[in-house]
């Protein structure tokens, strides 16, 4: 098997398991968090750093929000089967970057990886991210090429893979839909909050040797959980459905 074919085959596997395989990084986090400490021994400095990391991840979520809010039904989904798309998205975020959702994921992971304040760990996560998604992208683009042919080739010739080329911007074909965003991204929103809350509790446990629940993160987690439950309920009841989305 040619190397490119091998990478594409691996990409299909990673695509099917992409929602679960990142959980393997928990082991790496447990190792690096053993040496967690407050900057200069000050808890308020730790909160400032954590807030900065949280903002970086929220920036990644924002990229996903602006992407998902303008896509038609059958694209940019969370399917874990074979990559598929009913149409080729080439406007909106897809006019400046070919994989905006993965770019959003990059910033989400970057913010999380910065939490332990270990440069080596952050670099390791970045490398793992690119190795991981490189193969997924190869598999996805092979499917898109086979389905959309020259249209896909022309789009790839003018559109960067992961880092945006803003001069190519084209207005999204569909208007932004908040309902679609709330329906599709409520899980990502809560996952970010849950991960940061766990890291905060874990960091305090390793540093102080006891459980400590910071009021700021308790409030953020509680608010996020309530919001998530409400959105999931509305989603199941069909209140967030939008025709053609």
Q: What percent of the chain has pLDDT over 70?
A: 87
**Which tens digit of pLDDT belongs to each residue from 90-118?**
999 999 999 999 999 999 999 999 999 99
Residue 206 lies in a domain: no
Residue 148 lies in a domain: yes
CATH code (residue 122): 1.20.120.1630
Residue 217 lies in a domain: no
Domain that holds residue 87: 3-176
Residue 228 lies in a domain: no
Residue 134: pLDDT band with limits 50, 70, 90: confident
Confidence (pLDDT) at 83:
59
Mean pLDDT to the nearest integer, 158-182 = 91
Query: Three-state SS string across the chain, please?
Result: CCHHHHHHHHHHHHHHCCCCHHHHHHHHHHHHHCCCCCHHHCHHHHHHHHHHHHHHHHHHHHHHHHHHCCCCCCCCCCCCCCCCCCCCCCCEHHHCCCCHHHHHHHHHHHHHHHCCCCHHHHHHHHHHHHHHHHHHHHHHHHHHHHHHHHHHHHHHHHCCCCCCCHHHCECCCCCCCHHHHHHHHHHHHHHHHHHHHHHHHHHHHHHHCCCCCCHHHHHHHHHHHHHHHHHHHHHHCCCCCCCCC
Confidence (pLDDT) at 228:
97
Is residue 238 pLDDT above 90, yes or no? yes
**Number of domains forming the structure of the chain:** 1
Confidence (pLDDT) at 7:
58
Residue 33 lies in a domain: yes
Residue 229 lies in a domain: no
Residue 35 lies in a domain: yes
């Amino acid at each position: 098997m040619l190397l490119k074919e091998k990478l594409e085959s691996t990409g299909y596997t990673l695509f099917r398991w992409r929602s679960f395989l990142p959980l393997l990084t928990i082991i790496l986090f447990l190792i690096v968090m053993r040496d967690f400490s407050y900057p200069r021994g000050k808890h308020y400095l730790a909160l400032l750093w954590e807030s900065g990391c949280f903002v970086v991840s929220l920036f990644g979520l924002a990229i996903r929000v602006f992407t998902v809010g303008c896509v038609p039904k059958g694209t940019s989904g969370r399917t874990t089967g074979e990559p598929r798309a009913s149409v080729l998205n080439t406007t909106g975020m897809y006019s400046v970057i070919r994989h905006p959702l993965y770019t959003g994921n990059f910033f989400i992971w970057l913010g999380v990886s910065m939490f332990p304040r270990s440069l080596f760990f952050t670099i390791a996560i970045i490398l793992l991210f690119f190795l991981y998604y490189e193969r997924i992208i190869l598999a996805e683009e092979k499917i898109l090429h086979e389905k959309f042919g020259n249209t896909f080739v022309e789009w790839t010739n003018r559109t960067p893979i992961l880092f945006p080329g803003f001069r190519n911007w084209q207005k999204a074909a569909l208007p932004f839909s908040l309902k679609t965003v709330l329906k599709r991204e409520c899980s990502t929103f809560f996952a970010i909050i849950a991960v940061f809350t766990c890291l905060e509790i874990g960091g305090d446990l390793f540093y102080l040797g006891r459980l400590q629940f910071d009021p700021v993160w308790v409030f953020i987690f509680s608010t996020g959980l309530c919001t998530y439950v409400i959105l999931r309920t509305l989603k199941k009841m069909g209140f967030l459905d939008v025709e053609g989305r």
